[in-house]
Structure 1
Amino acid sequence: MLPVFRSSQFLQQHVLALSEFYQEHAIDPSGGYFQALLPSGEAQHDSVKQLVSSTRLAYIFAHVGLREQNKAFLDLAEHGFSYVENHHFDPQRQAYNWLIDGDCPIEQTNYCYGLAFVMLMYSAAVKVGRSSAKQQLAATFELMEQRFWQQEWGLYADEASADWQTVSDYRGQNANMHACEAMIAAYEATQESRYLHRAITIAQNICLRQCYSTDGLVWEHYNPQWQVDWEFNRNDPKNLYRPWGFQPGHQTEWTKLLVMLSRHHSADWLLPCAEKLFTYAMEKAWDHQYGGLYYGLAPDGSVCDDEKYFWVQAESFAAAALLATATGKQAYWTAYDSLWKYSWQQFCEAKHQPWWRVLSREGEVMDPLIASPGAKIDYHTIGACLEVLRAMQA
């Protein structure tokens, strides 16, 4: 018998079960979190720490701790905040180390994507009352403005060398999407209008201006003049951070963000755009034979990557619930139930366990780790449940 996926009790139970798994198995007593875990909880590559996983777990512990009024989770959030502050941050470079092995930085390339998650983490630190957090949030925002913001385009560049001297020609929507997410969180934590204004600017430029030449859909890759690059990574469609093709999961992740923005901003384009992106993903990328959303679609609408990723399903059920509560349309709850049913049976194996990272089209587990290097921890799944709970209660 299936759970009632729209039940707040079910969602709370799922959030707690996942959070308690990380509480039990992911805490590195020497600092930070173990980021590659087997289903048994055994840590792999235990000395390697990646910036996005470090910030995401701290963010999750903070928000679950706040929701549950659980001091143990809040203490684990502080464990993560201090690690990012003292180990990932390099005061000499005024930058964050992307990858650390023990105390040794092993990759120092600067990514806007990484700074977005530092901002997201410090927004959570503000909410839990960390004394220095508001200043650290502001400092990270200023760093992004100084190093990546391109005023003439109203968007962020993507990547810079370790010494900040060279900015890559690559432009991508993904870093901007997560920057938008961070700005919304920063605004909700501080009520400072500059963060909301920046979020609106990013959303409008990605979801309206940049979509003029892509039939209203969000493409991933651009050249320095923000023109669509249809060929980037065409021969590497499974690239971890920059896959080729339309990403159904990013259409629905933008859906979620646009609905979140509509709580604070009354622009009349937000909800129609959110609905269009979500409808495209569900109509074009739903696997009617095996269930779930495909990972990638080619520009002609054909499937270019038929694997099923955990974060795509999670972001999509969150988007469905937010649209349902914002519009009152029952069809979105129906989509929510379908996404959860597939995820519960395939990614969770019908129990409150950390989700598998990636499945084949037919449902075969493709990665034996349930937390793996490259930011693949349960940030999307826990965060999606928290957003659905928030929407329901609102």
Structure 2
Amino acid sequence: MDLHQLEKKYRNELLNNVIPFWLQKSQDTEFGGYFTCLDRQGNIFDTDKFIWLQGRQVWMFSMLYNKVEKRQEWLDCAIQGAEFLKKYGHDGNLNWYFSLDREGNPLVEPYNIFSYTFATMAFGQLSLATGNQEYADIAKRTFDIILSKRDNPKGKWNKVHAGTRSLKSFSLPMILCNLSLEIEHLLDEEFLKKTSDECLHEVLEVFYRPELGGIIVENVNADGSLSDTFDGRLINPGHGIESMWFIMDLGVRLNRPDLIDKAVKITLRMIDYGWDKEHGGIFYFMDRKGFPPQQLEWDQKLWWVHIETLISLIKGYQLTGSEECLALFEKIHDYTWKHFKDPEHPEWWGYLNRQGEVLLDLKGGKWKGCFHVPRGLYQVWKTLEKINIEKQETLLLNAI
């Protein structure tokens, strides 16, 4: 693999294909915010607005403005989305709805904690871009609400009968590993360390199960024990793999090589566990005992799973020099670019069947927006850039 050519490939795909698609096709210039339900060509097929996708897009354009180039059109795109969210996205007390209609009227109550997490990311990153204190305050206050809801994220909208089967989910501690670094500029050092320590404990000592061969489970009993139920047996390989690059980033930030090494080991194990040896690609859901999963979409191949895997593998290679990471990166890069990239129109497909054929030719919907594809392209591009710079520096040192 020519890593210099790959670096250019990811950069070009991000800046000349994917980002222009969302910039041009998704902005609602009449009511504000973004359309995410876009067909293959980028035509709108539904106008409802989903808060976590709105927040993700604000974050994406703010991040690009902060870290790639000070393009005014990117900042304008982020600000108009944030202003829509600020005005309509919550109940007045920063309880963030799940969805709104086009005009901003609430459709679904604030049951979903990820509306909160991506609002936090959005306003945190935009506060860096603008210096706007109100945005910083929204991010910090929402983050405090998230922490207060950790034991019951859905609050009064929880459908589970209290006291019968109390399971805790991997999703929230996983995302808090990333979120705590995202809003580090709003947290004091001691609070950041405390929060990250708690998340690391949950991910690596509660949901990571050496006794199951080193895999990550999605749900455990409240006491941390395994549950022999549909939810307790559920494995989401993509979740486990994605969380590992969050852990690698924390390992770098905290100067903890042990965390990086463990994250690389778990990444490789989860890929081996989740890989479809018959058709290629990584399964969406699995049952740890091999029973039929309750999710009928269990054998689909999803965009975000493969893109997040690419991030974890290339970071693993950059941080540890693991040749196994590099070899797997090449294998999954080939699968991902062959199956998910639309050769005729911008942006990528999200949903394939088990055989790797396009199942839905949409470019965005209720769950897919301006996030995993561009964030993944950015992360892989920047990691390849680091690798190439490091190799160049090594060559120069050896030549002296």
TM-score normalised over the length of structure 1: 0.86
1:240 maps to what in 2?
none
Deviation, 1:276, is 2.4
Partner of 1:114: helix, strand, or coil? helix
Answer with 1 or 2: which has the greater Rg. 2
Q: Deviations over 1:155-186 (max 9, x none)?
A: xx3311269xx999552111221222111211
Amino acid at match of 1:318: I
Deviation, 1:363, is 1.8
2:354 maps to what in 1?
361
Question: Do structure 1's residue 386 and structure 2's residue 378 form an aligned pair?
Answer: yes
Q: Give 1:213-292 correspondences, 5 Å limit.
A: 214-233=212-231, 245-267=234-256, 269-292=258-281
Q: Say if 1:298 and 1:98 are closer, same or farther in 2 by CA, change over 3 A.
A: same
Deviation, 1:259, is 0.7
Q: 2: CA distance between counterparts of 1:303 and 1:276?
A: 27
Question: Do structure 1's residue 204 and structure 2's residue 201 form an aligned pair?
Answer: yes
Q: Deviations over 1:202-245 (max 9, x none)?
A: 122222233346443221123444443342458xxxxxxxxx62
2:10 maps to what in 1?
11
Q: Give 1:127-138 correspondences, 5 Å limit.
A: 127-132=128-133, 133-138=135-140
2:53 maps to what in 1?
53
Q: Say if 1:190 and 1:387 are closer, same or farther in 2 by CA, change over 3 A.
A: farther
Partner of 2:124: helix, strand, or coil? helix
The 8 Å contact of residues 123 and 134 in structure 1, kept in 2 or not, is answered as yes
Amino acid at match of 1:70: R
Q: Say if 1:268 and 1:301 are closer, same or farther in 2 by CA, change over 3 A.
A: farther
Q: 1: CA distance between counterparts of 2:288 and 2:187?
A: 39
1:70 maps to what in 2?
71
Normalized per residue, which structure has more helix?
2
Deviation, 1:298, is 1.9
Q: Say if 1:273 and 1:6 are closer, same or farther in 2 by CA, change over 3 A.
A: farther
Amino acid at match of 2:183: A
The 8 Å contact of residues 150 and 172 in structure 2, kept in 1 or not, is answered as no
Question: Do structure 1's residue 195 and structure 2's residue 197 form an aligned pair?
Answer: no
Amino acid at match of 1:14: E
Deviation, 1:307, is 1.3
Amino acid at match of 1:55: G
Give the length in aligned residue pairs.
371
The 8 Å contact of residues 207 and 216 in structure 1, kept in 2 or not, is answered as no
The 8 Å contact of residues 248 and 263 in structure 2, kept in 1 or not, is answered as yes
The 8 Å contact of residues 11 and 389 in structure 1, kept in 2 or not, is answered as yes
CA RMSD of aligned residues (A): 2.6
- Which region of structure 1 is more displaced relative to structure 2, 81-90 or 315-324? 81-90
Amino acid at match of 1:103: G
Q: Say if 1:307 and 1:319 are closer, same or farther in 2 by CA, change over 3 A.
A: same
Deviation, 1:72, is 0.3
1:181 maps to what in 2?
178
The unaligned stretches of length 5 or more in structure 1 are 151-156, 235-243
- How high is the sequence identity, in percent, across the aligned residues? 18
The unaligned stretches of length 5 or more in structure 2 are 387-400
